[in-house]
C-alpha cells in the first residue's frame, strides 16, 4: 500500500471515492457538494490531500484546508489548518489506515507551522480523540419567535430586513460586508479570518445559496440588514423540517437600543416577510443578548488540536483557554462560534 499526495489527474476519481464513502450518512452529500467545496477554495492544492492507494485504487484519504486562520477575541489571529474528507473504503476499514494518514497529517501540519488543527465529525470522535483532538462545545438556542415581537418599539424601526442575492458580493457592497463581518466576529472565539475577496466571492457566496442544494428547500437564504440605507448586517438561514437554522450572523448597530435582543427582532421581521405568525429558529447562543430561550442545545462535533504550542497567542494555552474563555467579559462564558457557512 502506498501513502502519498493526490495527483491533479486523479481529482475526479477522488470526488467519486469520497462521495461513495459517505453514502451511509443520513443525508449523504453529492459529488457536486465535494466539487463545490474544492473549487470554491482559493487556496486549493492537491498536495494537501493525502491518499492511501492499494493496487492502483484509492482506499483512504485525508484532506487539508491550509489557509484557515481563526479570530480570537481582541482580534488575535491563530494559524489553523482544517482537516476534512476523512474516509476509508468499506473493504479496508478497521485496519488502521485512517489513523496512519492522520498521523501523516499531523506531521504535515507541524512542518508547515500551524498552531492549531480543526475538524468536524459526526461518528469518528474516538479516533480523533485518540490522536489528541478535543471537542469544543458550540451552544445553540432554539426559540419560537412571533412576527410582531417588539412591534411597539419605535427604536427598532430604522432596521430594514430584506432578502438579497449575489449583489451583496459585488464590489460596491463587498468591502462594507467584510467590515461588518470582521467587527462582529471579533466578539467570539472561532470564526475564521475572511480577508480574501476570492473567498467571499466563491466559498461564502456558494455556501450562502448561490448554488441550489439537492433538497432545494434546504438551500440557504440570505438577508441584508440596513440602517438608513447602509449595510449593517448579514444573515444566512437554512430551512429545516423542525426549525430554521441561522448559519451566519453579522450586525453592527451601536446606535440601536440594548433593551431588546436584536437577534429576536430581526428573526421576527423574517417571520413577517414569509407571512407567518410564528416560526422556530435555532441560532448560536453567543450572538444573543438574551439568555432566556425555549431550548438550549450543545453541539460537540467541532474538534481542535494544538499542533505548535509556541505559535499560540499565549504560551501554554489550553483548548479551553482558546475557545471557551470570554476575555471581553472576563468570564468563562462559552463564546465559541464556528459559522456553518465555513464548515467543510
Indicate if 63 and 109 belong to the same structural domain.
yes
Indicate if 190 and 50 belong to the same structural domain.
no
Structural domain includes residue 40: yes
Structural domain includes residue 306: yes
Structural domain includes residue 338: no
Indicate if 292 and 193 belong to the same structural domain.
yes
Indicate if 144 and 291 belong to the same structural domain.
yes
Indicate if 132 and 143 belong to the same structural domain.
no
pLDDT tens-place values along the chain, 344 residues long: 999 999 999 999 999 999 999 988 777 888 999 999 999 998 888 989 999 999 999 999 999 986 667 766 556 788 899 999 999 999 999 999 999 999 999 999 999 999 999 999 987 789 999 999 999 999 999 999 998 887 766 555 678 999 998 899 998 899 999 999 999 988 888 898 898 899 999 999 999 988 777 778 889 999 999 998 899 999 999 998 889 999 999 998 765 656 678 899 999 999 999 999 999 999 999 998 766 667 788 999 999 999 999 888 776 678 877 876 655 554 445 789 999 999 98
Q: Which residues contact 321 (CB under 8 A, 6 or more apart)?
A: 314
Domain that residue 315 falls in: 2-137+300-328
Indicate if 244 and 261 belong to the same structural domain.
yes
CATH number, position 200:
3.40.630.30
Report the predicted TM-score, pTM, of the whole model to 2 decimal places: 0.90
Indicate if 169 and 79 belong to the same structural domain.
no
Task: Check residue 155 and give its pLDDT.
Answer: 53
CA 98 vs. chain centroid, Å, equals 24
Indicate if 218 and 243 belong to the same structural domain.
yes
Indicate if 10 and 82 belong to the same structural domain.
yes
Structural domain includes residue 337: no
Structural domain includes residue 153: yes
Indicate if 146 and 14 belong to the same structural domain.
no
Instruction: Determine contact, residues 272/147, Cβ cutoff 8 Å.
Output: yes
Structural domain includes residue 335: no
Please tell me the total count of domains within the chain: 2
Indicate if 9 and 84 belong to the same structural domain.
yes
Structural domain includes residue 333: no
Structural domain includes residue 342: no
State the Cα–Cα distance between residues 338 and 344, nearest whole angstrom: 11
Task: Check residue 330 and give its pLDDT.
Answer: 47
Indicate if 187 and 251 belong to the same structural domain.
yes
Amino acid at each position: 500500500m502506498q501513502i502519498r499526495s493526490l495527483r491533479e489527474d486523479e481529482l475526479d476519481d477522488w470526488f467519486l471515492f469520497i462521495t461513495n464513502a459517505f453514502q451511509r450518512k443520513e443525508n449523504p452529500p453529492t459529488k457536486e457538494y465535494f466539487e463545490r467545496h474544492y473549487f470554491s477554495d482559493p487556496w486549493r492544492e492537491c498536495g494537501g490531500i493525502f491518499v492511501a492507494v492499494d493496487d492502483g485504487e484509492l482506499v483512504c484519504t485525508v484532506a487539508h484546508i491550509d489557509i484557515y486562520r481563526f479570530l480570537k477575541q481582541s482580534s488575535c489571529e491563530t494559524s489553523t489548518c482544517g482537516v476534512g474528507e476523512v474516509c476509508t473504503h468499506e473493504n479496508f476499514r478497521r485496519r488502521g489506515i485512517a489513523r496512519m494518514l492522520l498521523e501523516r497529517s499531523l506531521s504535515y501540519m507541524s512542518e508547515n507551522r500551524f498552531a492549531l488543527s480543526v475538524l468536524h465529525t459526526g461518528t469518528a470522535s474516538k479516533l480523533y480523540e485518540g490522536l489528541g483532538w478535543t471537542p469544543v462545545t458550540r451552544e445553540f438556542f432554539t426559540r419560537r419567535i412571533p412576527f410582531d415581537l417588539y412591534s411597539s418599539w419605535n427604536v427598532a424601526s430604522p432596521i430594514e430586513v430584506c432578502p438579497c442575492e449575489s449583489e451583496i458580493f459585488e464590489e460596491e457592497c463587498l468591502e462594507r460586508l467584510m467590515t461588518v463581518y470582521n467587527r462582529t466576529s471579533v466578539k467570539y472565539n472561532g470564526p475564521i479570518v475572511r480577508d480574501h475577496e476570492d473567498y467571499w466571492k466563491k466559498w461564502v457566496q456558494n455556501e450562502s445559496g448561490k448554488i441550489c442544494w439537492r433538497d432545494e428547500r434546504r438551500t440557504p437564504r440570505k438577508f441584508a440588514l440596513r440602517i438608513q440605507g447602509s449595510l449593517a448586517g448579514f444573515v444566512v438561514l437554512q430551512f429545516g423540517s423542525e426549525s430554521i437554522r441561522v448559519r451566519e450572523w453579522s450586525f453592527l448597530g451601536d446606535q440601536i437600543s440594548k433593551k431588546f435582543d436584536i437577534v429576536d427582532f430581526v428573526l421576527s421581521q423574517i417571520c413577517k416577510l414569509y407571512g407567518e405568525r410564528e416560526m422556530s429558529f435555532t441560532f448560536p447562543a453567543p450572538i444573543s443578548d438574551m439568555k432566556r430561550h425555549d431550548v438550549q442545545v450543545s453541539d460537540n462535533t467541532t474538534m481542535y488540536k494544538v499542533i505548535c504550542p509556541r505559535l499560540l497567542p499565549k504560551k501554554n494555552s489550553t483548548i479551553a483557554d482558546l475557545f471557551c474563555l470570554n476575555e471581553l467579559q472576563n468570564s468563562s462564558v462559552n463564546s465559541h462560534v464556528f459559522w456553518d457557512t465555513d464548515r467543510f
